[in-house]
Amino acid sequence: MIEGDERSRPSRGSPSAVGVYLLLAAIAFSPLVPSPALADDAVGADGDFGSIVLDVYLDAEGRALIVGYIEADGVEDLAFLEGTEFFYDEDTGELYARSGGLTSVLGDETRVEFEAGADWKEGHLAFYLPKEAELMAVSCSEGLDYSVVEAEDSMKVEVLGYDVEGIEVVIGYDLAG
């Protein structure tokens, strides 16, 4: 005790101090533990998928790098992955893919066509177009909304929807401009 201080303080090694540190550690790491509520969003008996949260980076040649998370038992049947090289971690839901099949060129217009059938609880997609792209058109399936902003030296088309029956997004842009 400090002279004049009549309260005793627990030392660093005392059981009460260790308990406080353990409690703080448990609180700090609790968001890292999966919630049982998240399990309800995974693929169920009715065929619904959980969430799809992806960033799609497109280069001037039309190749795409797809990075993000998908809550599903498997992703092999998703149309946007057909003909792509991809890695999917079923435990974490992480997806990494490279694709040349999402885009097509019609005259001066380059089109991105993204399709993920199934029913989704949540869909959040961000398409990063090349910085020289001039946006011509965006269309989305029912239940999806989109916004367009400039971000990170590119144009970003963000698509968001909840409880949607399939996700289809078509983006047309011009690189000649």
Lowest-confidence segment of 40-44, 86-90, 119-123 by average pLDDT: 40-44
Q: How far is CA 40 from the centre of its chain?
A: 18
Q: Looking at per-residue confidence, does 77 or 86 come out higher?
A: 86
- Distance between terminal CA atoms of the chain? 76
Alpha-helical (H) ranges within 6-155 are: 15-29, 36-39
What percent of the residues of the chain are helix, what percent strand, and what percent coil, each to the nearest 5? 15, 50, 35
Average pLDDT in the 136-164 region?
A: 93
What pLDDT band is residue 48 in, cutting at 50, 70 and 90?
Answer: low
CA distance 54 to 70: 8
What does the pLDDT average to over 105-134? 91
Q: Are 109 and 151 in contact (CB under 8 A)?
A: no
Give 123 or 7, the one with higher predicted confidence. 123
Judge if pTM exceeds 0.85.
Answer: no
pLDDT above 90 covers what percent of the chain? Answer: 51
3-state SS assignment for residue 32:
helix
The reported pLDDT for the residue numbered 88 is 94
DSSP 8-state secondary structure symbol assigned to residue 25: H
pLDDT value of position 106: 81
The CATH class for the domain spanning 42-174 reads: mainly beta
Contact yes or no for 141/166 (Cβ under 8 A): yes
Query: What integer is the mean pLDDT of 89-115?
Result: 92
Q: Quick one: pLDDT at residue 54?
A: 97
Per-domain residue ranges for the chain? 42-174
Averaged over 111-117, what is the pLDDT? 93
Do strands 134-140 and 144-151 pair parallel, antiparallel, or not at all (unpaired)?
unpaired
